[in-house]
Amino acid sequence: MSLFGSLYLGDSGIRTSQSALHTVAHNLSNLNTPGYVRQQVANTDTTYTHGGYSIRGWRQQVGTGSKYAECRHVRDEYLDKAYREEYGRSSYYEISYSAILQIEDIIGELDGAAFKESVWGTTGLWSAMQELSKDPNNTVNMSMLVSKAATFIENASAVYNSLKEYQNNLNTQIKDSVKEINSIGNRIYELNKEIMRVEIGGVEHANDLRDERDQLLDMLAGYGNITYYESDNTMVSVSFNGTSFVTEANVFEMELATDKDTGFVTPYWKHNLTYTKDAKGNKVPDYSSAQVFNLKEEITTAAKTDVGSLRALLLARGDHVADYTDLEVGACTDIKLDRLGIKADAYSDKDGLNYYKDYISKSVVMNMQAEFDNIVHAIATKINEVLAENCDPKTKYLCNPDGSPMQMFQKANSPGYEKVTLSNAEAEQLKAQGVKLYQIYDDDEQPIANRYWKYIEEDPSEPHTLYSCENMKINQTLLQSPSLLKFTGDENSVDYNIGKKFVEAFADAGIYLNPYSTEISSFEKCYQDLIAQTTSSGYVFGQLYDLEQLALEQADNERQTVIGVSSDEELEHMIMYQNAYNAASRYINVINSMLDTLLSIGA
């Protein structure tokens, strides 16, 4: 090779070293950039020139220098998948755990428990009943009973409304999550096209664009279980929870179906949506085939149903505002029939139990709403029951001015009793069926023929007839004039029995916490079990979340050993390439000096 040709050897060394230094500088400048993956320079030799053959017949070649081959995008597909799966699982348990913590905060057990104190505290409803049993005719005790009853229902409503507000908050998070998922999908689709335009010639690598796309896949994995693959044309196709989301040709965005009664949204795939026809022949969307998640699936790691924050949000929120009727397996409601997909004449207790298992128990918020409302309903109706059983419409004892039995707790949107006209036979028949009827008397304490006050039974399919947290209020007349209770019987004698009956009814009455409970518990024990159940769930979710955090940290550390930028390593590379650059520069200076000498001799 000539001396002039040797100059090109040095020039190639300078160029490759300079390109490597640029890559090292790029790595160092992005040391703390989220999602950045370190890049590595690969150099190779240039084309060799034929230099003849040796005396032994071996072909002699002369090198012409080095060249920049490629800038490698260093990733490990297996480590990426492991990290993304752990990130999705960690996100699921983070949402589930935070939901339990929020419910614990709403109940307030750790901060004084306003509701518990209003019932079983030293100045609560139970204490007021005990004081009343000692002196029922004491106006102070009467006032205390009504006042504590009002405080009880006020605190119960506050807890229940806070649970509803948290449901709405979760609903907003679901909307935001779906919006973000669609945004990620559209950006991945755009990056697919940009990366293909850069790399289609097989010369350049769109490493920074690939970093952004990979970071978006990391983010998407936090919302749900994703699978993906990169085709030969560099485009990535993504599936979300088993359904195509991003393809080479399109982005199938999630849509939201909004419940007209609750405002709760449910994500679905528009491209999978089918339609049926109603009785009038109108098209009706059937969302069952297009749902993003089957929320009735058992949550297991093996089935990968414990992956993603979006599923956790949907499960925590539930699909409606629950009340105590959701726990009554024998209560046939429109919601139950709709969810189960059956008709009323086919409903059984077994269906009610399946409904609780598939829809109520899986939602921490709905389960708390139903169980809490069940306790409040039982307490309120028991107090009303004691008043009704001891009233005397003839003397107006424990009755309203119109003769109807007095109630401590009233329905907010409907009356507790209605006037009916019945024949003697009809009245006897209804009484035999357990219907509560009270004879109406005139001012002379004479019965009015065939006229009765009939107790309006609660109808699970009619929310306005329920004594629930959402539909119950204190008797305002009693609140303003507690002395109307007048616990005095015949000849103005004090009715000491009424106070005892309040205490006995409150102490002896019992309910099941939920359909899975095997024994009846007192009101207080039931509430304690409710708190214990919430605490236990919080502990379990907390442990699982901590374990997933450790697994995620380990997966991230393993991945960072491959994709992460090490400043020490990059500085070593910088020194190495700087020395190579200097060596190539000295080589050119030597060749240049030799050329000057030869030219001067020739001159």
Comparison of pLDDT for 549 and 24, the residue scoring more: 549
Which pairing describes strands 236-240 and 243-246: parallel, antiparallel, or unpaired?
A: antiparallel
| Domain assignment present for 7 | yes
| Domain assignment present for 215 | no
- Over residues 36-71, the pLDDT tens digits come to 777 777 777 777 776 667 677 677 777 777 776 676
Give strand ranges (E) for 291-385. none
Cα 502 to Cα 398: distance, rounded to the nearest angstrom: 14
Supply the pLDDT for residue 11. Answer: 80
Which residues make beta-bridge pairs with 240?
A: 226, 243
Which pairing describes strands 409-411 and 274-277: parallel, antiparallel, or unpaired?
A: unpaired
pTM passes above 0.75: yes
- Over residues 437-472, the pLDDT tens digits come to 999 998 888 999 999 999 999 999 899 999 999 999
| Domain assignment present for 50 | yes
Supply the pLDDT for residue 560. Answer: 84
Cα 560 to Cα 558: distance, rounded to the nearest angstrom: 6
Supply the pLDDT for residue 112. Answer: 46
Helix (H, G, I), strand (E, B) or coil at 425: helix
| Domain assignment present for 585 | yes
Supply the pLDDT for residue 491. Answer: 60
Kindly tell me the burial class for residue 449, based on how many C-beta atoms sit within 10 Å of its own C-beta (0-12, 13-18, 19 or more).
exposed
Residue whose structure tokens are 């605190």 = 155
Token digits of residue 12: 């190639």
Q: What angle do CA 271, 276, 277 make, to 5 degrees?
A: 140
As a whole number, mean pLDDT of residues 486-513 equals 78
Cβ atoms of 395 and 491 within 8 Å: the answer is no
Which residues make beta-bridge pairs with 417?
A: 455
Q: Which of 391, 502, 524, 471 minimizes the C-alpha distance to 142?
A: 502
| Domain assignment present for 41 | yes
Token digits of residue 60: 């002699």
Supply the pLDDT for residue 490. Answer: 59
| Domain assignment present for 14 | yes
- Over residues 575-588, the pLDDT tens digits come to 888 888 888 888 88
The length of the chain in residues reads 603
Token digits of residue 551: 């697994």
The torsion angles phi and psi of 137, rounded to 5 degrees, stand at -90, 0
Helix (H, G, I), strand (E, B) or coil at 50: strand
Render 357-393 in DSSP notation, one character per residue.
IIIITT-HHHHHHHHHHHHHHHHHHHHHHHHHHH-BT
Considering its fold, how many domains does the chain have in total? 1
Q: How many CA atoms lie within 13 A of 289 on its CB side?
A: 9
Cα 71 to Cα 361: distance, rounded to the nearest angstrom: 54
Most distant CA atoms of the chain, gap in Å: 148
Supply the pLDDT for residue 540. Answer: 93
Supply the pLDDT for residue 37. Answer: 78
Cα 465 to Cα 578: distance, rounded to the nearest angstrom: 84
Cα 241 to Cα 306: distance, rounded to the nearest angstrom: 11
As a whole number, mean pLDDT of residues 273-290 equals 86
Which residues make beta-bridge pairs with 246?
A: 238, 251
Asked if pLDDT for residue 3 goes beyond 70, the answer is no
| Domain assignment present for 464 | no
As a whole number, mean pLDDT of residues 132-156 equals 89
| Domain assignment present for 289 | no
Give strand ranges (E) for 31-149. 39-45, 49-53, 59-62, 66-73
As a whole number, mean pLDDT of residues 380-392 equals 91
Cβ atoms of 226 and 239 within 8 Å: the answer is yes
Token digits of residue 363: 């939602």
Supply the pLDDT for residue 375. Answer: 94
Cα 518 to Cα 76: distance, rounded to the nearest angstrom: 52
What are the distances in angstroms from CA 294 to CA 16, 243, 261, 298, 305? 56, 13, 22, 9, 9
Q: Which range marks the domain in which residue 31 is found?
A: 3-74+566-602
Q: How many helices (H) and strands (E) does the chain have?
A: 15, 18
Please name the helix (run of DSSP H) or strand (run of DSSP E) that holds residue 238, with its range, or none.
Answer: strand 236-240
Which residues make beta-bridge pairs with 441?
A: 447
Please name the helix (run of DSSP H) or strand (run of DSSP E) that holds residue 562, with its range, or none.
Answer: helix 523-563
Single-letter amino acid code for the residue at 69: A
